A and B are shown apart, each in its own frame.
Chain A
Amino acid sequence: MKKLRVFLAQLSTKLGDVKGNEEKILEALEAAKREKVNLLVTPELSTLGYGSGDIYLDKVNENLESLERIKERVDDLYSIIGYVEKDNYGFFYNSACLINKKSIIGNYRKVQLVNYRLFDEKRYFKRGAKLPVFDIGDIKIGILICEDVWFPEPSRAMALRGADLIVVLGASPFERFKKEVWENFLIQRARDNILPFVFCNQAGCQDGVNYLGYSMYVSAAGKIVKTGKLLEEDYVVVEVDLEESRRLRRRDTRLRELRREILEELLRAYDEMEDDRA
């Protein structure tokens, strides 16, 4: 059976604590090497930390220098690190990069920035607009960041591009019933696409906001296979079954029955909605 060993580093990173976060990421990297995993995942924006505040405008360069140092420590192990990216225009993105053998071999920019209640990502970041998949040896993975998985479209695009697994980085705060919200979204997306999902979420507490933790592996059948601790730092090692989705797709016709004309109709509907608002 084809398996992928994934190390979900459920870290308690802190907004602005680039040095402390780096130590935690490097520690996790060493632990992942000992666990002989194929892939390590950190939470969203793990180098600079997640939270609400203008520190994103102040410490991007520090976070990029930190990423350089982290990169140097990644050998054969594929690693997905959440960080703040800066482009040639000087715009920032809430991004995740895929690192292997000391170099960045893939990069993903969060497409659905969160800007309600306590969140103000649009104050700092530009939205991504690409939904690629990346090769890890002979398998394909898609990377999503937090809110991206609350929408059906991003993971659907990656499924169409042949993803074998979707990896989700999160920094989702704890609040009442949030645990169930995440279970439901991940199960729903797994079922939509008949694909396994792994979710690595931030833990710890800062400024009265606790982060949920509760990293998770949901199988292609939509079953929760393993979860991390709530609110606390945790290392969650999971064995992802990469064959189940193909097995299920023999009889589960949903993905293969997706029709171009329906997608076109969806776009037309979208355009009508936009026109209506004008």
Chain B
Amino acid sequence: MIELEFKKEELPLVEKAICNSIRERVEKFNFNGAIINLSGGVDSSLVTKLTSLAIGNKKTYALILPEEGLTPEKDIEDAIKLCKDLNINYEIIPINSPLKAFEISLVNVEGDREWGITNLKPRVRMIYAYFYANAKKLLVVGTSNKTELLLGYGTKYGDLAADIYPIGDLYKTQVWQLAEYVNIPTDIVKKKPSAGLWKGQTDEEEIGYTYFQIDRVLFCLVELELSVRETAEFLNISEDAVNDLYERIVKNEHKRRTPTITKISRMCLDKDWRYPVERF
């Protein structure tokens, strides 16, 4: 029994649980507010709206960081419209010039420069988010969802860099549902998901499966704790496809962890020492 889609009556509670967690973190550490890198996609739009619901529009900041010449105008428009609708603080800063500066200084590097530069983009965006966070004492709210976190579909210290992941326990399917429930504009919800790192890039093409397929496989592996073979049988798909996704989960554990510390003492900080983040 795949209970991936939320039932109608679950949605208000899910919304509330997420808003509570954002509010608690902001209040516990006396932040002046929270900041989100807003791309105009469904994940960041949803997180922006939930943050504004949780702590109020005056304390919510969005950064719109397009790469001119690559980011679709429609994304920028959608992002701006959302900020205006929510009446939150926002800035638009193209990332082209810092990106250019990095590229020039790294021009002599051998190897897969292109891949390095692709990942520079979310990392430059991260730098802006944390600059604002420092300057204005804001919490950086991440926009990664459970599907991305499981597959490792994100850039380490790029878009994965954040203080909290409020939608990190929602599969993409559920993100769409919740986005619809909190009235994110249809244009945004219906948009083809894309990391926006190169022309024509879409998540589903890059991963090789549709989110509909991916989420069902992940649900079986993670929530129902089925084996690769059982999952393939259960969903009536090839074992290779399931294994492909399973391998991604395994390979990307490091993206879901703080860096592994080599244990020397009795009290190794990532292993033996356990304290809540919101500690009293």
Contact = CB atoms under 8 A, between A and B. Distances in A.
Interface of A: 14-18, 20, 49, 51-55, 120, 123, 174, 176-177, 204-208, 210, 230-231
A174 B13 contact: yes
B119 to A, nearest CB: 27
Interface stretch (B77-85, B126-134, B187-195, B269-277): B269-277
Given A15-B280, A206-B24, A208-B164, A174 B275 contact: no
The 4 residue pairs across chains A and B that have the minimum distance between CB atoms: A17-B280, A16-B280, A205-B20, A210-B17
Interface centre among A53, A205, A230 (most CB of B within 10 A): A205
Interface of B: 3, 6, 10, 13, 16-17, 20-21, 23-24, 164, 273-280
B113 to A, nearest CB: 38
Contacts of A230: 13, 16
Given A176-B3, A176-B10, A206 B16 contact: no
Q: Main secondary structure on chain A at its contact with chain B?
A: loop
A207 B275 CA distance: 10
Given A17-B280, A53-B274, A54-B273, 16 more contacts: A15-B276, A16-B280, A20-B280, A52-B276, A53-B275, A53-B276, A55-B279, A55-B280, A123-B274, A176-B6, A177-B3, A205-B24, A210-B16, A210-B21, A230-B13, A230-B16
Contacts of A207: 276-278
A177 B4 CA distance: 12
Contact of B274 (A14, A20, A49, A54): A54
7 contacts: A15-B276, A174-B13, A177-B3, A204-B20, A206-B276, A207-B278, A208-B164
Nearest to A176: B10
Contacts of B280: 14-18, 20, 49, 55
